[in-house]
């Protein structure tokens, strides 16, 4: 089925380790987003991209980097994981003029 | 002040009840408005868009008051399957840069 696919679905990291979360969409959407969701905080935008080769900071970008080398992929990197980055990460994509985002199923990350 | 605020909840209601959720937003330039539903440990999914004239989808009715910067969602004849967290979403443009409210959790009880 068409949609947004996130990998991995679960991960446990040790403090200081690095990892990359992958988001792939097959709907030819221009816009892609990375959010984190924490209890009581709602969804907060980390970084976003309005097209291939472009990225921009969202509300909570510190400690994360992103890349959009191909239109269909949006990568989120943690260079040196911290316990404060324990969260559920959602990727989403959209198209200008389109109603609504399409979300991936999320990545549950625990940093110990 | 947060950009999008919602009733803190949780709301616990019996089956068949009518329940209303409220949401306020701070950016008067906002152009598009939505309600999303998020089930426990799942991704958010679009429930409905919200238009100035008000719109209805079965048991769900959404209203927008631009002057008061206020959005509402009414659920009639609640079902057990309506139990979820309801997220109010506001954006400056269609399809871009949504701002999500913290959500209001609803539990419909048998």
> What are the E-state strand segments in chain A?
4-7, 10-13, 19-25, 31-38, 42-51, 54-57, 64-67, 73-78, 87-94, 102-103, 107-111
Higher local confidence (pLDDT), B24 or A96: B24
Q: What is the pLDDT of residue A1?
A: 61
- CA distance from start to end of chain A: 35
Q: Which helix (H) or strand (E) holds B88?
A: strand B84-91
What's residue B8's pLDDT?
Answer: 84
Chain A interface residues (partner B, CB cutoff 8 A): 31, 35, 40-43, 45, 48, 50, 90, 94-101, 103-106
Distance from CA of A93 to the nearest CA of B (A): 9
Residues from chain B that touch A41, judged by Cβ atoms under 8 A, are 102
List the single residue in A50, A100, A103 with the smallest CB-CB distance to B34. A100
* pLDDT confidence of residue B95: 60
Per-residue pLDDT of chain A (112 residues; tens, 9 = 90+): 679 999 999 999 999 999 999 999 999 999 999 999 998 778 999 999 999 999 999 989 999 999 999 999 999 999 999 999 999 999 999 887 677 889 999 999 999 9
Average pLDDT over residues B18-45: 94
Q: How many residues does chain A have?
A: 112
Q: What rounded mean pLDDT belongs to chain B?
A: 92
Residue B101 confidence class, pLDDT cut points 50, 70, 90: very high
Contacts of B100 in chain A (CB under 8 A): 35, 42-43
In this prediction, residue A112 carries a pLDDT of 96
- Identify the pLDDT of residue A64: 98
Q: How far apart are CA A104 and CA A91, in angstroms?
A: 5
Contact B94 A103 (CB under 8 A): no
pLDDT for the residue numbered B76: 98
Average pLDDT in the B3-30 region? 94
CB-nearest partner of B95 from A43, A97, A106? A97
pLDDT of the residue at B94: 63
Taking only residues 20 to 59 of chain B, the set having a beta carbon closer than 8 angstroms to any beta carbon of chain A reads 32, 34, 41-46, 49
Q: Residue A55 is encoded by which pair of tokens?
A: 């990225």
- Chain B residues within an 8 Å CB radius of A100: 34, 46, 49, 95
For residue B102, give the nearest of B54, B36, B18, B27 by alpha carbon.
B36
Closest chain A residue to the Cα of B32, Cα to Cα: A99
């Amino acid at each position: 089925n068409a949609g947004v696919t996130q990998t991995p679905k679960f991960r446990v990291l040790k403090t200081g380790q690095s990892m990359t979360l992958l988001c792939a969409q097959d709907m030819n959407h221009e816009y892609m987003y990375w959010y984190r969701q924490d209890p009581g905080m709602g969804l907060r935008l980390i970084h976003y991209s309005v097209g291939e080769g472009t990225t921009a900071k969202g509300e909570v970008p510190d400690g994360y980097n992103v890349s959009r080398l191909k239109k269909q992929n949006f990568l989120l990197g943690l260079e040196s994981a911290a316990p404060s980055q324990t969260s559920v990460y959602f990727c989403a994509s959209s198209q200008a003029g389109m109603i609504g985002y399409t979300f991936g199923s999320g990545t549950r990350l625990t940093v110990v | 002040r947060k950009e999008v605020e919602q009733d803190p909840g949780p709301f616990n209601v019996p089956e068949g009840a009518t329940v209303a959720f409220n949401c306020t937003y701070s950016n008067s330039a906002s152009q598009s408005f939505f309600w999303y539903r998020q089930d426990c440990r799942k991704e958010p999914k679009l429930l409905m868009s919200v238009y100035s004239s008000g719109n209805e989808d079965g048991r769900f009715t959404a209203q927008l008051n631009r002057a008061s910067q206020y959005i509402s969602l009414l659920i009639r004849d609640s079902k057990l399957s309506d139990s979820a967290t309801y997220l109010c979403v506001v954006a400056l443009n269609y399809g871009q840069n949504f701002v999500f409210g913290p959500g209001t959790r609803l539990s419909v009880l048998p």
